[in-house]
Structure 1
Amino acid sequence: MRLLLAEDEKSLSHALCSILEDNGYSVDAVYDGQDAIDFASNDIYDMMILDIMLPKKNGFDVLKEIRAASNMIPVLVLSARSSVDDRVRGLDLGANDYLTKPFSPKELLARIRVLSRVQYTQRDDILNVGNINLDRSSHELSSTVGSYHLANKEYQMMELFMSHPNRVYSIEFFIEKIWGYDSNAETNLVWTYVSYLRKKLNALHANIKIKAYRNTGYSLEQADD
């Protein structure tokens, strides 16, 4: 799960990134409201954690602009502005939740899990393509012959494939979505994870496969008879 963190206090941002990454999330950090809007428009994030008191554009303006653009990314506001009026304003502008500072990391993680469960309820907890299932809550990839628990990046990649079968994803998209803009990940790392998934699909006797398109990317498709 990839998160966008918009927090201008860099020491807090670094601490939050460490907490979130230690709990299995991938995080990109931005430090002003305009970058929050620009990054959110890329449609690679599953959730945004948003401070209100940001430079360039404050969090309320960020909410206005992304919702006006029909961007429905779940937003958890994390702010020192704790008045009832501020909380109501944030929620009315489209925030899905509002947590005030100071906060407990355990509560922050719990709020993120709640928003994640809402997303999965609105979609499906179990993805199915061909004879393969992917459980979004347990990260289990399975068929009638067995199952595998997917590690974080394997799971993120397989969820993308199974959410949109037959869609071709570029290597650059995987790097941005799973490893992040500031990552030093190279193209061969994507191939490595595709190889891991192919081996698991083969072991599960899958009737689907990950097909490579030269100079284009990868797609999950029905296996050839």
Structure 2
Amino acid sequence: MHILLAEDNRDLADALWKLLRSNGYVVDVVHDGASADAVIAAQSFDLIILDLNLPELDGLDVLRAMRSRQNGAPVLILTARGSAEERVRGLDLGADDYMIKPFDVGEFEARIRVLLRRHAGLRSSTVRYGELSFDLTSRSFSTGDGALDLPARELGLLEVLMLRAGKVITKESIIQSMTAFDDDLSANAIEQYVSRLRKRLNPYGLTVRTARGIGYFLEKTVSDK
């Protein structure tokens, strides 16, 4: 899952970047509103964490601009501007949640999980497809045989496919969900990870199908009993 953090306090941004990365998220950081607006216009994110007191362009203006472009990515406002009026303005402009600094880290992490779950159209933190289960809280996969241990890249790919099981996901969307600005992930590398996942999932009646010229999708190879 790919998160954009727009925060001008560099110490806080660095601390949150480390926290989110430790939870397995792909994270990019920008420190001003103009950069946030440009990046959001050019790339897809699964979640945007947005400070309001950004230089060059206010966070509310960033939010207003992205919603005017019909960008539906969930937005968590994280700011010291905590008046009722500010909260109402942010929510009315399309923010999905609003946290005031200082904040509790555990609650921050929980709110992120809730927003990602809602955006994926899920009501539970556990996703099941055939014999495979995915726990969004721990970001771990399991089957009837126990935990399914995966290298980070394969886990990230399977997460993207699992959250939209049965639906085709383009290679570009997969790469954007799995890479930060400074990462390099080619279409050929994705094909290699797909090949490895097919071998791992085959014993559980699942596979990754190729939609030629488009992307991939997770599919059951055996019917549910």
TM-score range, shorter chain: 0.7 to 0.9
Between the aligned partners of 2:111 and 2:60, the Cα distance in structure 1 is: 20
- 2:134 paired with 1:135: yes
User: Residues 19 and 105 of structure 1 are in contact (CA less than 8 Å); yes or no, is this contact kept in structure 2?
Assistant: no
Matched with 1:220 is 217
Distance 1:81 1:166, change over 3 A: closer
Alignment of 1:69-148 (within 5 A): 69-122=69-122, 126=127, 128=129, 133-135=132-134, 137=136, 139-140=140-141, 142=143, 148=148
> How much has 1:18 moved relative to structure 2?
0.6
Distance 1:195 1:59, change over 3 A: same
Percent of pairs with identical residues: 36
> How much has 1:59 moved relative to structure 2?
0.6
Distance 1:160 1:190, change over 3 A: same
Matched with 1:169 is 170
User: Residues 147 and 204 of structure 1 are in contact (CA less than 8 Å); yes or no, is this contact kept in structure 2?
Assistant: no
Between the aligned partners of 1:27 and 1:82, the Cα distance in structure 2 is: 25
Distance 1:135 1:164, change over 3 A: closer
**Paired residue secondary structure (1:109):** helix
Between the aligned partners of 2:62 and 2:17, the Cα distance in structure 1 is: 21
> How much has 1:186 moved relative to structure 2?
5.5
> How much has 1:8 moved relative to structure 2?
1.8
Alignment of 1:1-225 (within 5 A): 1-42=1-42, 44-122=44-122, 126=127, 128=129, 133-135=132-134, 137=136, 139-140=140-141, 142=143, 148=148, 150=150, 152-162=152-162, 163=164, 165=166, 167=168, 169-170=170-171, 173-185=173-185, 189-206=189-206, 208-211=207-210, 218-220=215-217
| Residues 12-45 of structure 1: CA deviation (Å, up to 9, x unaligned) | 2112101111122110111222322232234531
Return the letter of the residue paired with 1:72. Answer: G
Q: RMSD in angstroms over aligned alpha carbons?
A: 3.2
**Paired residue secondary structure (2:49):** strand
**Paired residue secondary structure (2:170):** coil
User: Residues 67 and 94 of structure 2 are in contact (CA less than 8 Å); yes or no, is this contact kept in structure 1?
Assistant: yes
**Paired residue secondary structure (2:110):** helix
| Residues 104-124 of structure 1: CA deviation (Å, up to 9, x unaligned) | 322221221222333345578
Between the aligned partners of 1:221 and 1:16, the Cα distance in structure 2 is: 32
Distance 1:37 1:6, change over 3 A: same
User: Residues 45 and 176 of structure 2 are in contact (CA less than 8 Å); yes or no, is this contact kept in structure 1?
Assistant: no
**Paired residue secondary structure (1:11):** helix
Return the letter of the residue paired with 2:217. Answer: L
Aligned length: 218
User: Residues 209 and 221 of structure 1 are in contact (CA less than 8 Å); yes or no, is this contact kept in structure 2?
Assistant: yes
Between the aligned partners of 1:187 and 1:157, the Cα distance in structure 2 is: 12
> How much has 1:150 moved relative to structure 2?
4.8
User: Residues 141 and 150 of structure 1 are in contact (CA less than 8 Å); yes or no, is this contact kept in structure 2?
Assistant: no
Q: Which moved more, 1:36-45 or 1:59-68?
A: 36-45
- TM-score, scaled relative to structure 1: 0.77
